[in-house]
Amino acid sequence: MMLDFEFLKQSASVLADAAVKTTKDLTDKGKHKMDVLAAERHLAKTQRQLGALVYSLYKNGQTNDQLVKKYLQAVEQAEGQLEKITTEQAEESRDVRMEKICMRCGAEVSKDATFCSCCGQKFESADDTRGRVWNTEK
């Protein structure tokens, strides 16, 4: 009976760890998405400001190259920030990780798992799993 309790305790621990990892991954993805959206909004705002300035100057028959250049630099800076964020995210998504495949049920589990999170199979040795490299690139 004690063995069953220990097995259940270990299985619950493995499931809890998997849930924490999944939650962290989802939180990170959400944060990255929000960063991209904020950068896109900032870029759109600076582009609108530039357009409004050029229209206003044209409508009044004026020119102000220095001010237009200042707004163009702001647009370029916003484009650079958006590019930087998307590049960082692309590099993070190419992260390669090792995972194990349970020989009993075929479920993917983390490389350091002792038990399968689906069927509870204990991994005694490397023969109990098939190692695979998964590229997380999307």
- pLDDT at residue 132 in the model: 43
Alpha helix positions (H), the chain: 2-59, 65-93
Model confidence at 2: pLDDT above 70: no
50 shares its domain with 70: yes
Whether residue 120 sits in one domain with residue 85: no
Mean of pLDDT values over 63-68: 95
DSSP assignment, residue 115? B
Number of domains into which the chain is organized: 2
**Do residues 85 and 36 share a domain?**
yes
Torsion-angle region of 61 (φ positive above 0: left; ψ -120 to 50: alpha; else: beta) = left
**Same domain as 80, residue 58:** yes
Residue 1 burial by Cβ neighbours in a 10 Å radius (0-12, 13-18, 19+):
exposed
**Token pair of 3 as six digits:** 């063995």
Residue 8 belongs to what domain range? 2-93
Q: Are residues 85 and 114 in the same domain?
A: no
What is the average pLDDT value for the chain, to the nearest integer? 82
Asked whether the predicted pLDDT for residue 106 surpasses 70, the reply is: yes
pLDDT of the residue at 70: 97
Separation between Cα atoms, residue 17 and residue 120, nearest integer Å: 14
pLDDT in tens, 13-35: 888 888 888 888 888 888 889 99
Q: What is the pLDDT of residues 76-95, one digit of tens each?
A: 999 999 999 998 887 776 55
Residue 89 CA to residue 11 CA, distance in Å, equals 33
Residues 16 and 82 in one domain: yes
Residue whose entry in the numeric block shows the structure tokens 């400001």: 49
Residues 41 and 55 in one domain: yes
- Amino acid letter, residue 18: A
Asked if pLDDT for residue 3 goes beyond 80, the answer is no
pLDDT reported for residue 96: 45
